[in-house]
Chain A
Amino acid sequence: MPEPAEPQTEIVYRHRWTTRIWHWLNAFCLFFLLASGLQIFNAHPALYLGSQSNFSDSLISMTAMRTGDGSLRGVTEIGSMDFDTTGFLGASREGSGALVARGFPAWATIPSYRDLATGRVVHFFFAWVLVASGLAYVCVSLFNGHFRRDLIPRRGELRTVPRAIGDHLRFRFGREAHYNILQKLSYLVVILGLIPTMVATGLAMSPGMDAALPWLLDIFGGRQSARTLHFMTMSLLVLFFVVHIVMVLAAGPINEMRAIITGRYRVRHEANEEIS
């Protein structure tokens, strides 16, 4: 009698409490850092390359222009190209419903209204939490083998990248206890690449840190380049967040959420895989 090819499931302990706490701390910190960061950006919504702001040659700028009939128009300039971004970038509606000049809209900033001082206070507070919890996580993960066992690709595993991309594009996910190769790579990029870059480019914008550690200016090509890189890396983190959420929804949001809250994850052993 052939066995029916019914998948067998079982609950495994997937995420340690350190990983879970760190995940939610990060989610919380990055939310506040993003929204307060956009508040800070709005104080001068333009990006430059080099040490200083060449005011006649910005890389990206968001401005509000008064049109012939007196209404405001939000204009985003990227290089020499202009885009009408009224309602989103350059000019958008505030609580009163009136169009006002502002880089990012009220719904994207903390506070919603213009308040650079509060944006800075919030930003630097959560930056400290992010750095402290990040350092603790890296120390613990080196110590308990989380990096080695769960995140560093195994020998030969990189060869499975093309197949994993194909599976993800078709929204076909195995429910295995271990991270697949794309998860490993993207988590490593975030943990070892994007977050450290955010911290370092943030520090390179500090005049005090620039006096203490002048090489911060050199590795990023000047304070304004560091500010631009801070913004670009933020965009990559937002992109990671969007893909991360899509993947969670596609792979089974209830199982995924239970795993990252309680640590317990239902895995499915494909019957045919066990036979082979």
Chain B
Amino acid sequence: MTITLTRRGLIRAAAIGGGAALLSGCDRIVQNPMARAFFERAEDLTMAAQRSLLDREALAREYSESEIIQPQRPNGSISPRDPDYRTMAANGFADWRLSVTGLVERPQSLSLDELRTMPARTQITRHDCVEGWSCIAKWTGVPLAAVLDEAGVKAGGSYVIFRCADTLGREKYYESIDMIDARHPQTILAYGLNDETLPISNGAPLRVRVERQLGYKMAKYVMGIEVVGSFAPIRGGKGGYWEDRGYEWYAGI
């Protein structure tokens, strides 16, 4: 009873300032799990709408050399402190291997040199960060589709999970995309940036480019690719580090 009265008193106190009440009211609305779940349904609509408009192969715009005006802005992890990563970086990533596992016929373990001898794609594209900024840079790498074909995706393999070497907050970064984006011609595993070896701040030795989505989908410091049928059992179940923290899985907007 006392608690109820106190709470009521608090609410009344908050209501004194009209603006403050409106504000806390709005905060309460967006914190309400049912309201939040309802608002989040719009993401399905966005994805369905974009996928129906978007040709599977439709390319993100590619720019000219002259539009590269500044270094690619690093964001998120820019210098991982994970000891395993540090050791590999000190050795020029000679011991680094990309593992390809999960629902594949032939699991792979690929060195950087092996990836570099595969057919490469170079593209000058615009990186759009969820924060709002954009940056144009030239990316070189091997199409993810080629790596998936090497391994042979088994029936039921619907998503590609990227396991990363960096720890953000307290957890390892990870991401996921579906096969439409994984097999898109511009989806590459990049080892080169602006005609140089991909630097550590931008995800050395290997990062993903998913050009029709926002930056957080493009995992850096990739160690492993895992083909799965569903990402629900993985970590927070939402398909990525930021997704587990409330961001959309489909980041085409």
Q: Which residue numbers of A lie inside 8 Å of B, CB to CB?
A: 32, 35, 40-41, 43-44, 46, 48, 51-56, 106-107, 110-113, 115-118, 120-122, 124-125, 127-128, 205-214, 217, 223-224, 227
Contacts and interface: CB of A to CB of B under 8 A. Distances in A.
Contacts of B132: 40-41, 43-44, 227
Nearest to B23: A112
A121 B40 CA distance: 6
A107 B60 contact: no
Interface of B: 19-20, 23-24, 26-27, 30-31, 36, 38-43, 45-46, 50, 53-55, 58-61, 63, 67, 69-70, 73, 126, 128-136, 211-214, 242, 245-248, 252-253
Which one of A40, A207, A209 has the highest number of Cβ atoms from chain B below 10 Å of its Cβ?
A207
A118 B246 contact: yes
Contacts, number: 136
Given A51-B126, A124-B46, A125-B42, A210 B60 contact: yes
B68 to A, nearest CB: 9
A36 to B, nearest CB: 8
Nearest to A111: B27
B30 A111 contact: yes
Contact of B242 (A32, A46, A117, A125): A117
B246 A110 contact: no
21 contacts: A35-B26, A44-B129, A52-B69, A53-B135, A110-B26, A110-B30, A111-B30, A112-B23, A112-B26, A118-B30, A121-B43, A124-B42, A205-B253, A206-B253, A207-B60, A208-B50, A208-B54, A211-B61, A212-B58, A223-B126, A223-B134
B126 A117 contact: no
Contacts of B213: 207-208
B46 A211 contact: no
A120 B211 contact: no
Which one of A206, A208, A224 has the highest number of Cβ atoms from chain B below 10 Å of its Cβ?
A208
Nearest to A218: B61
A117 B214 CA distance: 13
Contacts of A209: 50, 53, 252-253
Nearest to A202: B253
B26 A117 contact: no
Nearest to B181: A208
Contacts of B69: 52, 54
B67 A52 contact: yes
A110 B24 CA distance: 9
Contacts of A213: 53
A12 B248 CA distance: 48
B40 to A, nearest CB: 6
Contact of A121 (B36, B55, B61): B36
B253 A124 contact: yes
